[in-house]
Structure 1
Amino acid sequence: MKFLETPVLEVLNSALNFETPECKVLGRIEPYSCKAAGADKKLYKQLESKYDPSSQNLSPPDDDGANIMNIISPFGPMNQPASRKTLFYLIGTLNASFPDYDFSDTKPEQFRKEPSVSIVVNSINATLLNHGNERAVKELGIWDAIDQLIDLEDSDVYSYNPESDSDPNDEEGGGTLWSFNYFFYNRKLKRIIFFTMRGVSHGVPTSEDGDEDDGNFSNTDDDNDGVGHRRKGRDMDEDDYDDMITEDMDLQ
């Protein structure tokens, strides 16, 4: 996934980080183009080998005789290329947004397709207003900016719902009071807006405070049932990754 540099969002993201008497609120809006870099290619092949009916590595039927291909995901039947492509895009976005985590084993059922864009917009607005941030909603035109980037009317919205003990928004091991992770996905534009926000108890150190990692992570188990977990190491040096040429993939 290719992160899109968008100056207008810098002001909005600054406004989404504020403090209330109850908690610190940390939020960000990130736009991504559905283009795949080298690291994404590996993810795509992994998902295809797991869910593509033509693959030679399909999971065997379970005890009830049901095959993984019979799963109806939030994206549709997983034996359909369009469904697998949507899952790939959402997982790729999570990997890009939380680079210290690996979400490659995240399961389709950990996502939810929201009933409508308007319901999600109203929910986010209510969260901001309830925490005293009228500026982001009423003055800065947060949704006008997002609409210009992705055309909300022509987008679907998905949410990511990890287990509480493996939520990347709670990486410090406690203190997160609430959080949400929404993906606004426009298939025609091949673009995703990732909107994530969390409320953290006062006194709990966060990465935004500039604290250094102490190396003690609660999510380092490779067998953590398909949820995001800390990467034990990178596949390449950071400079090599940043210099990698981004290119389109034929996912049709």
Structure 2
Amino acid sequence: MKFLEYAGIDAINSALVFETPECKVYGRVEPYSCKAAGADKKLYKQIEFKYDPSNSPPDESGMSFRSIISPFGPLDQPASRKTLFYLIGTLNASFPDYDFSDAKPEQFRKEPSVAMVVNSVNATLLNHGNERAVKELRIWDSIDTLIEFEDTDVYSYNPESDSDPNEEEGGGTLWSFNYFFFNRRLKRIIYLTMKGVSYGAPSEEGHDDYSDMSDDDMGVGYRRRGLRYDDYVAGEMDLM
């Protein structure tokens, strides 16, 4: 997956890092092209080997477990396996210190509609007192410009706590969510993640004091954490 730069990402992500009386909220929006990076090719081969029914003999009933219906459709279909590959690849790119190669199809869910997800995220922001992101910055207008909601499917990632990077030991995470806005025609994914962390938890590395920083100050380290940033940059995009 290739991380895409575009004008305005700093302003959006800065607004998604804020404090409430109950917790600190850390959120970020990351756009990716579905163009494969070096590490993705190995992942794709792993997923094909694991879920392509031609690699597994049928059971006594004549059925292969890999032909079951997943949130992406039947896994015996290449398009379904490719969607799984894109979502896992996005997680690997967004959390370079983790390996999601073993993430299972049932840990993902296809959401009923874009509108329901937008309303849910807006409710979270408004309930935590962040009207600026919704009403002033109008983050969904920017995201729609990138992904074109009309042709977009939304998936969520709901892993067990021991495989969720938002649930690090001692992290004090109170709630979290992970959404993928996927436009097959554009071959593009917008990854949106957000979590609320208790005040007694250690400071989130890479997120401290962003509310006081300008767009110029925030730089690359905020948009792509870890040392593998260059592996995922595809080029610059401008919303204008």
- Shorter-normalised TM-score: what interval? 0.7 to 0.9
The one-letter amino acid paired with 1:165 is: D
Q: How does 1:78-227 map to 2 (within 5 A)?
A: 78-205=75-202, 206-208=204-206
Could you tell me which residue of structure 2 aligns to residue 69 of structure 1? 66
Task: Kindly indicate whether the alpha-carbon contact (under 8 Å) linking 2:155 and 2:180 is maintained by their aligned counterparts in 1.
Answer: yes
Distance 1:3 1:176, change over 3 A: same
Could you tell me the TM-score, scaled by structure 2's length?
A: 0.84
Task: Look up the equivalent residue of 2:2 and give its one-letter code.
Answer: K
Shift of 1:68: 1.8
Deviation at 1:85, TM superposition (A): 0.5
Q: CA RMSD in A?
A: 2.1
Displacement of 1:61 in angstroms is 3.8
Structure 1 segments of 4+ aligned residues over 4 angstroms from their partners:
243-246
What is the TM-score when the length of structure 1 is the normalising length?
A: 0.80
1:170 CA drift (Å): 1.8
Q: Which residue of 2 aligns with 1:48?
A: 48
Structure 1 CA distance, aligned partners of 2:114 and 2:9?
A: 20
Where does residue 4 of structure 1 map in the other structure? 4
Q: Which amino acid letter does the alignment assign opposite residue 242 of structure 1?
A: D
The separation in 2 between residues aligned to 1:16 and 1:120, in whole angstroms, is 16
Higher helix proportion: 2
1: CA distance, partners of 2:21 / 2:233 = 45
SS at match of 2:8: helix
- Whether the aligned pair in 2 keeps the contact of 1:185 and 1:193 (CA below 8 Å) is yes
Higher mean displacement: 45-54 or 19-28: 45-54
Measure how far apart 1:27 and its partner are: 0.1
Deviation of 1:209 (Å):
5.2
Alpha-carbon distance between aligned partners in 1 of 2:6 and 2:146, rounded to the nearest angstrom:
9
Contact 1:59–1:68 under 8 Å retained in 2: no
Q: How does 1:219-238 map to 2 (within 5 A)?
A: none
CA distance, structure 1, for counterparts of residue 54 and residue 160 of structure 2: 31
CA distance in 2, matches of 1:60, 1:174: 43
Partners in 2 of 1:45 and 1:195 — Cα distance? 26
Distance in 2, Cα, partners of 1:106 & 1:153: 28
Unaligned runs of 5+ in 1: 211-237, 247-252
**Alignment correspondent of 2:39:** 39
Task: Give the SS at the match of 1:208.
Answer: coil
Distance 2:92 2:13 in 1: 20
Alignment check: 8 A CA contact 2:172 2:198 kept = yes
TM-aligned CA deviation for residue 69 of structure 1: 2.2
Structure with more relative contact order (C-alpha pairs < 8 Å, separation 6 or more): 2
Question: Residue 211 of structure 2 aligns with which residue?
Answer: none
CA shift at 1:115, angstroms? 0.3
